[in-house]
Amino acid sequence: MRVITGTAKGRRLITLEGEDIRPTAAKVKGAIFNSIQFDIENRKVLDLFAGSGQLGIEALSRGASKAYFVDLSRDSIKVVTENLEHCKLKDNANVFNGDSLSFLKTTREKFDIVFIDPPYKKQLAEKALSLVLNVLNDGGIIVCETDIKEELPEAVGNYTVAKQDTYSKTKLTIYRYNGDDE
């Protein structure tokens, strides 16, 4: 697993091993960043259920101004921190060891791009979507990576599905701001 492009291009990222660990496949990560490549620079991003931190790190490498990483696993937080140090991106990052849904309920921060990549088959993406509007700036982007069988809503507030593709066992859903309903 490597950073695709930007200031940390080519740097290898470490990840945890185990059955519950599912790093974003290179093809899926490429599709995500091809879809949002012109929306990253100088933006603040949130990497929920961060795992190894590869989505937030990729965004930082491509010019995001700040990235927040949230994961419940202490081992994952350790890996995120090591990857940030290895990529020389630690100064632009905040790392939180805690529940992603609780973070969404309590943070006062606002973000331009939110990555939601929870463990599969636990319906956590839909729960996160119900809370994410509280932390998203108007005009923001929500990127969800879920199991292919998981159904997500067509709209979340003023955000609608702009892109949805499948890659093997993974479904990628990108929501974009659709303006006011008034």
pLDDT in tens, 69-88: 999 999 999 999 999 999 99
Count how many domains the chain has: 1
Provide the residue range defining the domain that includes 61. Answer: 26-177
Mean pLDDT of 79-98: 97
pLDDT tops 50 at residue 182: no
Return the pLDDT at 145.
94
In a domain, 10, yes or no: no
With tokens 């940030």, the residue in question is: 84
- Answer whether residue 42 is part of any domain: yes
Phi, psi of 71, deg, nearest 5:
-155, 145
- CA gap 87, 132 in Å, rounded: 28
Amino acid at 93: A
- The answer to whether position 168 is within a domain reads yes
Angstrom CA distances, 103 to 13, 21, 49, 142, 158, stand at 25, 21, 11, 16, 22
Q: Among 10-14, 60-64, 82-86, which is the least confidently predicted range? A: 10-14
How far is Cα of residue 168 from the mean position of the Cα atoms in its chain?
A: 19
How far apart, in whole angstroms, are the C-alpha atoms of residue 175 and residue 10?
28
In the DSSP assignment, the letter for residue 118 is: P
Task: Report pTM.
Answer: 0.93
- Identify the CATH number of the domain in which residue 122 sits: 3.40.50.150
In a domain, 85, yes or no: yes
23 has pLDDT over 80: no
Residues 177 and 139: beta-carbon distance below 8 Å? yes
Is residue 16 domain-resident? no
pLDDT of 22 higher than 80: no
- Characterize the bridge pairing of strands 93-97 and 66-71: parallel
Does residue 59 sit within a domain? yes
